[in-house]
Chain A
Amino acid sequence: EVQLVESGGGLVQPGRSLRLSCAASGFTFDDYAMHWVRQTPGKGLEWVSSISWNSGSIGYADSVKGRFTISRDNAKNSLYLQMNSLRTEDMALYYCAKGGNGYNSAGFFDYWGQGTLVTVSS
């Protein structure tokens, strides 16, 4: 059974940093692209970042480019999101999602975690 468990969320002041983690199990982690998607409470989904199976292809939403860094550790079956210079508009539930198209980072999201909440407030 595929499981994705996010952690690392919490309350942080504007301008500070936070690192999210996603522990994956139930599939061969290094065979798939991975993604971060966020959702502001009561609002819609926003794609944040994607990383290919070997970290060779990475993409960011314009809203986070230059501030967020996605990475993965295939030996630890883990995905990360380093978030720097946080803004109030970054406050959201952050989901980790598994890519559904194998090695190809171009595809869709077939499994999602339950999310970790990031609150940005002074």
Chain B
Amino acid sequence: QSALTQPASVSGSPGQSITISCTGTISDVETYNLVSWYQQLPGKAPQLMIFEVTKRPSGVSNRFSGSKSGNTASLTISGLQPEDEADYYCCSYAGSSIYVFGTGTKVTAL
């Protein structure tokens, strides 16, 4: 149960697109289409942004999109806005009722 690997920080100018990677193994990301992404604002509980690799819950901006290739999943934020500044975590199901989170990425709008 090793944590999925994410970059510690990603930054971009307002209006730009940024992508956060999430690298796992064949035991989790590569095998299961059950990668989800969470946004955590300072002092708040995490909020679901993407589930099942590409799906967006109702109420989440379509500026957020997800994808996966092999053992790496990605979250793309298009048209970066100041309110997108937060910590982002990926998570993958790993079989047998087990999950693993990513190491987390701090997104900054320059």
**Considering the complex, which residues of chain A in the window 98-122 have a beta carbon less than 8 Å from any beta carbon of chain B?**
100, 105-115
Residue B52 CB within 8 A of the other chain = yes
Contact A59-B45, Cβ < 8 Å, known A44-B104, A45-B104, A108-B36? no
Task: Please classify how large the interface on chain A is, using the bins under 10, 10 to 19, 20 to 34, 35 or more.
Answer: 20 to 34
Mask, B76-107, CB within 8 Å of A = 1, is 00000000000001010101111111111000
- A15 CA to B100 CA in the complex, in Å? 26
Residue B34 CB within 8 A of the other chain = yes
CB within 8 Å of A: which residues of B? 1, 3, 32, 34, 36, 38, 40, 45-48, 51-52, 57, 89, 91, 93, 95-104
11 example contacts (A-B, Cβ-Cβ < 8 A) are as follows A35-B99, A44-B104, A45-B104, A47-B100, A51-B97, A52-B97, A106-B97, A107-B34, A107-B36, A108-B48, A113-B45
12 other A-B residue contacts (CB within 8 Å) besides A59-B99, A108-B34, A108-B36: A37-B46, A44-B3, A44-B102, A45-B91, A45-B101, A47-B98, A47-B101, A57-B97, A95-B45, A107-B93, A109-B48, A109-B91
